[in-house]
Chain A
Amino acid sequence: MTKLVQWLWVLAILGSTWVALTTGALGLELPLSCQEVLWPLPAYMLVSAGCYALDTVGCHVATFHDCEDATRKLQSQIQEAQADLARSGLRF
């Protein structure tokens, strides 16, 4: 089973559970406060997923290491290549 099919299964199961609970199809008498928590849950899941994504991106942006040596080496290599090509007659 591919990852996509797995995700769709999980979504289908959770979605049908939520629909069954909110429409009262199971005949359960949930207290009013529980019903109030239940019906915005899909939106809540989406917002939390978005927040988690933003959080991960923020953490990785803040902890990304600058590679000083690699930068210097790359820049010197670029200058070498430019000088070489200019000598061979290529105009920039």
Chain B
Amino acid sequence: MATGTDQVVGLGLVAVSLIIFTYYTAWVILLPFIDSQHVIHKYFLPRAYAVAIPLAAGLLLLLFVGLFITYVMLKSERVTKKTQ
């Protein structure tokens, strides 16, 4: 078995993914079938956010990946310019 921090990090990732999955499944799939007067609807945002939040998160991720690539490319360009 992997040592200390590896196990903690791995199990942490699994826990996070399970939490996100169950919350999102309940939001998208279970909630429409529950009576709109039930108290559980208090714990979930309006339905439009179920698409808006993952979309915004995906765009942010793409933005960060693009910025990282730009940064690495600029850095390597500066290094080659120095050695020329």
Would you give the 0/1 interface string for A22-34, flagging 1 where the beta carbon is closer than 8 Å to chain B?
0000000000111
Contact with B along A55-92 (1 / 0, CB 8 A): 10111111111100000000000000000000000000
Task: Check if A47 is an interface residue, CB within 8 A of chain B.
Answer: yes
| Interface SS majority for chain B | helix
Number of A-B contacts (CB under 8 A): 82
Q: Which residues of B contact A (CB under 8 A)?
A: 1-3, 6-7, 9-14, 16-18, 20-21, 24-25, 28-29, 32-33, 47, 50-51, 54-55, 58
Residues of A with Cβ closer than 8 Å to B? 32-34, 36-37, 40-41, 43-44, 46-48, 51-52, 54-55, 57-66
